[in-house]
Structure 1
């Protein structure tokens, strides 16, 4: 399929209202990249898809491993985009997770091209969980699940959606390979692989405590955010890594603390590792959003805020400032209070409070691990 320069350009540009640049501050036109980004890109394939007694380990080393499920990737997939489309077309959550890892592995090991493909929309979904409006999601007390299973189910749902969100970005924007470059697709395929591993951990832990993904209703908000940004790569980067995944950075410490309070140290360790690895995904979003803005000759801060309004993307606090800063998101992009001339001592005080909170959660986690007063997890 041949695309005219005009069509190619329109996929990268935003609407005409963004032609007038609005500078937020001298620091808003650039962001400091996460220091671990290049190491993450160059890291070997991660086969630690089972959560063992001491943390992640390869599935084959586990005595609890189930027989390998046949994976239908032999068909006609000869490129990364075609593999991604197969993942998106797979409804079984565990198979989708395994296919995602196999797709990324095949692409890396066999030096396949990015290719060109069109994604299924929406992606295939299992009959359960039943998708309902956010208002219909039961609260923990009325869900029929203990708190650790309730929170794990919600996290598993986020991770399953994240697999599809990353592959949809790879497949949907594959026609614009010559503009975005191979590294763009490599990064988001890598993100999809990470998310598939996270879902495997959540699914495993749910099974260990007697539950499974699909035991309670879930919402479809994450995919709706993906759908409404299908026509614009800058909007997609704003909506998914910089809004949705950044929320994971905010919620991670709180979720860890809840699991510790519930007495489920094993689940808290899984959640903590997932939250730590999400920093790379947000950093990838920052890197490529800034890169696309540079191609459009636009200022990232003002463009991000315009896209929030245009696509009705909502920012919700409280924000984990230290994690967001580590991932490279400038505070003025998402925190309106920082645009005002905030006293330097107040800004430092806020950052210190955030860091104290993070350290406190870590201390609580370590103390709970050695405490005999904790209730044992199921």
Structure 2
């Protein structure tokens, strides 16, 4: 079977089996372009059972440490601090590439998701690959390189914990972790500007930040879709496709939000940390009623 005969899920598995993050990003961009151009025709083959790896291929040259042992990043006031922050962001994006292709390969067929689900996360994967490449290039301009500093794999720990359930994966990775990125990015951008590094600040502000809002929005959209589908499981395929196109605005949040709270309390340790970027979160499709009760209630139990 040649690459032109691949389904999208088979192509996603090729990306996940690629260890080098630069090649992973290049391959992912190629697959995404082919899917969006219609050169890959099928999401998955209904009669092929493919094994999704528990952990994607990764380079062994990046030294991994527990999150608690990570050195402080600083506030971008020095070159050392700026390098550390950019390295941390590049590492997060390297995992974001894998997370995007993993959700396609692991859950798309299993949950019989609409084509729009695949397209949304292909776009997310393509963006994450571009973010990694740009940040790694910026690291080199700052006199360093990806792999020069230690990193941690907390994002994949969460992916492992939610590997059996798409609702949980969407809630934790895309509505908690991605949204946390939206909370901290404006401060990070300001710190780079205050430190005199407008090049990095511009990269984060004009490319990474607005695209991360759309990534969080994809998580919120498909979380709502799955909740609505569970309420109306007998709806036909055409009705489900219509729901997929409109669920970002029409889902019954009285049903959805309690489900979100229950999943986050089960799969995410500790409270959600304010301050919250309410404007960015609203742009992604969810308001304070989603996240403030988690922060307040969890914090009050300590």
State the alpha-carbon separation in 1 of the partners of residues 42 and 126 from structure 2.
18
Q: Which one of the candidate residues 70, 82, 89 is aligned to 2:17?
A: 89
Superposed structure 1 runs of 4+ greater than 6 Å apart: 337-340
Summarize the Cα distance change of 1:240–1:185 in structure 2 as closer, same or farther, 3 Å threshold: same
TM-superposed deviation, 1:295: 1.2
Greater C-alpha radius of gyration = 1
Tell me the TM-score normalized by structure 2. Answer: 0.82
2:113 matched to 1:156? no
Query: Structure 2: 5+ residue runs without aligned partners?
Result: 232-253, 298-302
Whether 1:312 aligns to 2:241 is: no
1:216-236 C-alpha deviation (Å, 9 max, x unpaired): 111111001111111111111
Which one of 210, 215, 222 corresponds to residue 276 of structure 1? 210
Q: Secondary structure at the match of 2:200?
A: helix
**Superposed, which structure 2 residues align to 1:1-378 within 5 Å?**
78-109=6-37, 110-116=39-45, 117-140=50-73, 146-176=80-110, 178=112, 180-272=113-205, 273-297=207-231, 299-314=255-270, 315-336=272-293
Cα-to-partner distance string for 1:320-374 (whole Å, 9 max, x where unaligned): 111111111121110028999xxxxxxxxxxxxxxxxxxxxxxxxxxxxxxxxxx
C-alpha distance in 1, partners of 2:277/2:16?
A: 31
> CA 1:244–1:158 in 2, change beyond 3 Å: closer, same or farther?
same
Which of the pair is proportionally richer in helix? 2
Name which structure has the greater RCO, CA cutoff 8 Å, separation 6+. 1
Aligned pair count? 265
Distance 1:221 1:106 in 2: 31
Which residue of the partner structure matches residue 251 of structure 2? none
RMSD: 2.2
* CA–CA distance in structure 2, aligned partners of residues 174 and 325 of structure 1: 26
Q: Flag structure 1 segments of 5+ consecutive residues without an equivalent.
A: 1-72, 341-378
